[in-house]
Copies of this chain bind each other. A is one copy, B any other.
């Protein structure tokens, strides 16, 4: 049948194989309202100056700075007030020798003015002829309290590089130049398929011998946390025809993840299908849980499509997803490692832990303050999914972890 049937590989070799898998990217333009959490697919350049015009950065009076040079507390300079300019207004007058214009923060600096005197160091006086005068008690230097057009960003300068994760502050930068649509990487579409004759969806009756589908939901949500779009599927029966039909149905997705049907026993349908359609790259990883994991490639329209077969056990499926699949999905989604990813944490283990030698072990842990508490249940336990906050890796040559040792806790979810 196959070329590598349960030829168990070391986890680091599997990581390398997955790391070398082909990644296809495409770009789409989305409304700025929909750009949140997306990744820029092009460098964005400033299409206007920022600020777009020279504006006051304080409330006060726009003046010719040289008119104020001699101003002091004892000998204020008197300037004739021409008008008031609020933010959003356009000045009607030019500031000429001996005059000033009242100006609000954000309003355009009138022609002729080269400084703004803060309102706090002035006094205003009405005159007989209905005009007004402003007493200036402090001098202002050229350019003081003015944000010159383009002083923050010049038209044509790069604002954000391709690959930037668009978060709430970066979206402010795109908004500042009035962008309507933003070029972002399309979210990879990932089909998520649960297989097994015993699995039913929640709208079906739970007959004797059946269990509800768990993996469709957990893996779909984990896929979403990696910046990809999950595509749900009906349950697939554990037979060749059903499996082959389902694979062919998902021609337009970027990657297929199945769970179940990967053991070396009777249910090993994915293996058979992959051997027929394409290549099996991995079948079996020297880890516990999660040994019967499959990675394969099948031809797709322009390229090759990756299929990943996770174990059927929900805990194994989720752990294997996080260790081996999530980094690849994040790469497909152009997410850098920092962006949006919950950090691993170094915590003390709450008790001595004994691990069987020979395979790398993943152990679910609950986090309580600065302590990681190992969950001592078999990997089929659903209740451990309720308790777990993350998992730790115990290398294959380590048998004992002493109480109080530091362990690296990886999150089971990015939330």
Binding site for B on A (CB under 8 A): 32-33, 36-37, 48, 50-53, 57, 59, 86-90, 104-108, 119, 147, 152-153, 159-160, 165, 167-180, 196-199, 202-203, 206, 208-222, 224-225, 232, 238, 263, 265-267, 312, 314, 318, 339-340, 342-343, 377-378, 380-383, 385-386, 388, 412-415
- Residues from chain B with a CB closer than 8 A to the CB of A388 are 169
CB-CB under 8 A for A378 and B165, given A106-B312, A178-B206: no
In the complex, which of the residues B175, B220, B380 contacts A147, with contact meaning CB atoms closer than 8 Å?
A: B380
A410–chain B nearest beta-carbon distance, Å = 12
Query: Nearest chain B CB to A408's CB is how many angstroms away?
Result: 15
- Is the beta-carbon distance between A198 and B382 smaller than 8 angstroms? no
Residues of B within 8 A of A213 (CB): 175
What CA separation (Å) do A312 and B59 show in the bound complex? 14
A214 with B175: CB separation less than 8 A: yes
For the complex formed, measure the closest distance between the CB of A170 and the CB atoms of chain B, giving whole angstroms. Answer: 6
Q: Are B206 and A169 in contact (CB under 8 A)?
A: no
A209 near B265: Cβ-Cβ < 8 Å: no
Question: Quick check: B221 and A152 within 8 Å, CB to CB?
Answer: no
20 inter-chain pairs at a CB distance below 8 angstroms, sorted by A residue, are A36-B221, A48-B206, A52-B210, A88-B210, A89-B197, A107-B209, A147-B378, A165-B415, A168-B222, A168-B318, A169-B413, A170-B385, A172-B218, A173-B383, A176-B211, A176-B212, A176-B214, A176-B314, A176-B385, A178-B202
| Option from B50, B53, B171, B215 in Cβ contact (under 8 Å) with A208 | B53
- A208: chain B residues at CB < 8 Å are 53, 90, 108
Cα–Cα distance between A381 and B263 once the two chains are bound (Å):
58
Bound CA–CA A225/B108 (angstroms): 35
A169 cross-chain contacts in B, Cβ below 8 A: 218, 318, 385-386, 388, 412-413
Q: Specify how many copies of this chain sit in the oligomer.
A: 2
Say whether, besides A152-B383, A383-B50, A415-B165, A104 and B267 are in contact (CB < 8 Å): yes
A206 touches B412 (CB 8 A): no
Contact A415/B263 with A169-B388, A172-B314 known, Cβ cut-off 8 Å: no
Q: A86-B266, A104-B265, A213-B175 are in contact. Are A168 and B198 (CB under 8 A)?
A: no
The contact of A318 among B87, B172, B267, by CB within 8 Å, is B172
CB contacts (< 8 Å) of A37 on chain B: these are: 415
By the criterion CB–CB under 8 Å, are B382 and A176 in contact?
A: yes
Known: A90-B208, A175-B218. 10 other contacts (CB 8 A): A33-B220, A57-B380, A86-B197, A87-B209, A165-B415, A167-B415, A173-B386, A175-B216, A179-B202, A180-B203
A180 nearest CB across to chain B (Å) = 5
Check B168 against A412 for contact (C-beta < 8 Å): yes
Q: What's the Cα separation between A343 and B409 when bound, in Å?
A: 15
